Amino acid sequence: MSVLVQRLGLSSNSSTTKWTFSAWVKRSRLVSSGSEFIFSSNGERTGTSNYSSIFFENDTLRYYDYYNGGAQVNLKTNRVFRDLNAWYHIVVRYDSTLSTADDRIRFYINGVQETSMAARSNVAQNDGSFLNRSGYDNFLGTQTNNLSGHFLGTMSHVHLADGQSYAPTVFGETDATTGIWKINTNPTVTYGTNGFFILKDNNVVNDQSGQGNNFSIGSGTLTATQDCPSNVFCTWNPLAVASYAPTYYNANTTIMSEGNSWYEPMATLGFSSGKFYWEAKHLNNQYTFIGVVDSKHKSYASNSHAFTTGVTIYRNDDGGEMVKDNVYTTNDYGTFNSDSDVMGIACDMDNKTISIYKNGSAIVSNFALSTKIETAIPYASLYQANNLVEFNFGDGIFATSAVSSAGNNASGNGIFEYDVPSGYTALSTKGLNL
């Protein structure tokens, strides 16, 4: 769902020649043609089409100043950003007062400067951008209020420092234990007149900088998630495509089949040991299969579900069946209905079993996995048009709605509708290391 996050009509001019933008972003789709806007300052409501924007274009990162019908400034990376399971820390450092032209606009990703550019048209010395101009509108995740080029992923810790050129080390740091670039949750920043700090906690768009430059929600619903740069939760992986790829929604946590073919997504995280739990709902179609597959599973077949090897899966059909390596049980485990039922999937790779829960009660207990599963990955197979299933891998959300009443989770990792079975945790980067 598209969400309009906006700050309309800046009340005063401030620094257009020096500023720093910093944000953590996680993409949920690839844009082979077109744009996904991260941040934009737009003058349309003042009667001008001029704007400054930071955005993904054809999966590259780009900064663009549009002036009087054309590009005044244009910076575009050679590098593409196609990892849909990763958080990227993006810093754009703008200082047109500098004497070296290539230093006037600098990109940093996870603390490292991007120097290889597919396009570079530098700002002239001491020229200003269209940020921090009186009457201009700020948009997060889109270019204009008509949701042009909207961003469908997740954002966190978004800063604009007005009048300051900051290195990425102000907003992030390398973890001494893991060596991973992480958030500096309380950076020392001078924000200036039009600067701001939003999305610090949950889905709060009120300014946390002390400047009072609050944003508002113009349309849509902004949903808080447990997924963050320090703990990335499993989602469905649009890059692991079958013969027929489903349509992905809600940051790749919702899948939908499009017609009378088998649509078979695989998830982003797998595990060869440990015990992991996730949930699904809207199981309204009999041709819905949910379970795990071996990471090496490649036997997708056109218009045919591929249950031949390395698959253990629950079938929401014929009273409810388990399927292992194309062998169907005759057990009547029970089926799941749209909206009213939540399926819990608990996979134990230490003991090579899977259990299925219906609204918190086990209906399949410790069913033996296929012996061909060495590294288990969440897997589904859907048939028929508009067969839609929402998943909660622990981020606490089904589609765009938070779980109604969180169950107990002794691991402390992830939020679920029902109690997490003893010894299990959410499938996330933190969970994989518990």
Q: What pLDDT digit, counting tens, does each position of 31-58 carry?
A: 878 899 999 999 988 878 899 999 999 9
Q: What is the mean pLDDT of residues 387-411?
A: 94
Report the pLDDT averaged over residues 240-244. 70
Mean pLDDT of 268-288: 92
Which of the four pLDDT bands, split at 50, 70 and 90, describes residue 243?
A: low
Confidence class for position 300, pLDDT limits 50, 70, 90: very low
Q: What is the pLDDT of residue 223?
A: 86
pLDDT at 318: 83
pLDDT of residue 430: 94
Residue showing tokens 């209905």: 337
- Report the pLDDT value the prediction gives residue 182, as an integer from 0 to 100: 93
Instruction: Give the model's pLDDT for residue 320.
Output: 93
pLDDT of res. 301: 44
Q: In sequence order, what are the beta bridge partners of 36?
A: 56
Share of the chain above pLDDT 90, in %: 71
Residue ranges and CATH numbers for the domains of the chain are 4-219 (2.60.120.200), 247-433 (2.60.120.920)
Place 1 in a pLDDT band, splitting at 50, 70 and 90: low
Tell me what pLDDT residue 164 has.
98
Q: Is the pLDDT of residue 308 over 70?
A: no
Choice between 147 and 134, residue whose per-residue pLDDT is larger: 134
Q: Give the dihedral of Cα atoms 191, 60, 147, 88; nearest 10 deg.
A: -50
**Range from 147-156, 211-220, 290-299, 372-381 carrying the lowest mean pLDDT:** 290-299
pLDDT for 124 beyond 50: yes
Mind spelling out the 3-state secondary structure of the chain?
Answer: CCCEEEECCCCCCCCCCEEEEEEEEECCCCCCCCEEEEEEEECHHHCCCCEEEEEEECCEEEEEEEECCEEEEEEEEEEECCCCCCCEEEEEEEECCCCCHHHCEEEEECCEEECCEEEEECCCCCCCCCCCCCCCEEEECCCCCCCCCCCCCEEEEEEEEECCCCCHHHCEEECCCCCCEEECCCCCCCCCCCCEEECCCCCCCCCCCCCCCCCEEEECCCCCCCCECCECECCECCCCCCCCCCEEECCCCEEECCCCCCECCEECCCECCCEEEEEEECCCCCCEEEEEEECCCCCCECCECCCCCCEEEEECCCCCEEEECCEECCCCCCCCCCCCCEEEEEEECCCCEEEEEECCEEEEEEEECCCCCCCEEEEEEECCCCCEEEEECCECEECCEECCCCCCCCCCCCECCCCCCCCCEECECCHHHC
Among residues 109, 93, 84, 95, the alpha carbon closest in space to that of 31 is found at: 84
pLDDT of residue 395: 95
Phi/psi for 110 (5° steps) reads 50, 45
Percent of the chain with pLDDT over 70: 97
The full 3-state SS of 177-233, as one line of letters, equals CCCCEEECCCCCCCCCCCCEEECCCCCCCCCCCCCCCCCEEEECCCCCCCCECCECE
Least trusted range by pLDDT, from 221-230, 350-359, 389-398: 221-230
Euclidean distance between CA atoms 276 and 182, whole angstroms:
25
Is the predicted pLDDT of residue 60 greater than 80, yes or no? yes
Does residue 303 have a pLDDT over 50?
no
pLDDT band at 305 (very low <50, low <70, confident <90, very high): low
What pLDDT band is residue 302 in, cutting at 50, 70 and 90? very low
At which residue do the structure tokens 């940020």 appear?
A: 131
pLDDT-derived band at 299 (thresholds 50, 70, 90) equals very low
CA-based nearest residue to 258, from 386, 405, 119 = 386
pLDDT at 306: 54
Give the residue, 229 or 148, on which the prediction is more confident: 229
Q: How confident is the model at residue 287 (pLDDT cuts 50, 70, 90)?
A: confident
Residues forming beta bridges with residue 140, ordered by sequence position: 5, 39
432 Cβ contact list (under 8 Å, min separation 6): 269, 271, 274
Residues 324-347 have a mean pLDDT of 90
Give pLDDT tens digits for 245-268.
889 999 999 999 988 888 888 999
pLDDT of residue 298: 56
Q: Tell me the sheet residues that pair with 139.
A: 6, 40
Where on the phi/psi map is residue 97: left (φ > 0), alpha (ψ -120 to 50), or beta?
A: alpha
